[in-house]
Amino acid sequence: MLELDSATFDRETQRGPLLVDFWAPWCRPCKALEPILEELPVEVAKVNVDEQAGIAARFDVLSIPTVILFSGGEPRGVVMGVRPRAHFDQWLAKVLPAG
């Protein structure tokens, strides 16, 4: 899974769609969410909020895990907390750009 930082974030989120997982290594719910995200039919990247606090603040990430779908550099939807795979499938069907 791609790890984003201040040097790569804007470039990578311009491509799309890209699901960005805001997480921290000490966060148990974040670790529980990782295998669910890996199964989703969309590219996933990670932002370590401890190391990239500026990126987290830019998108008002106040709790983790927070997952934001980006397309064309813009956030298209947010899911906070751990959710089952079915929730992500339904959410992606609503927020992914058509085509």
Q: 32: which DSSP letter?
A: H
Question: In the annotation, is 11 catalytic?
Answer: no
The whole-model pTM stands at 0.94
Q: Is residue 27 annotated as part of the catalytic site, yes or no?
A: yes
Tokens 């805001």 label which residue? 22
* pLDDT tens for each residue of 42-67: 999 999 999 999 999 999 999 999 99
Confidence of residue 97 (pLDDT cuts 50, 70, 90): low
Q: What is the pLDDT of residues 17-38, one digit of tens each?
A: 999 999 999 999 999 999 999 9
Catalytic residue among 12, 17, 27, 34: 27
pLDDT of 99 above 80? no
Q: Among residues 30, 49, 67, 79, which one is catalytic? A: 30
Q: How many CA atoms lie within 13 A of 35 on its CB side?
A: 2
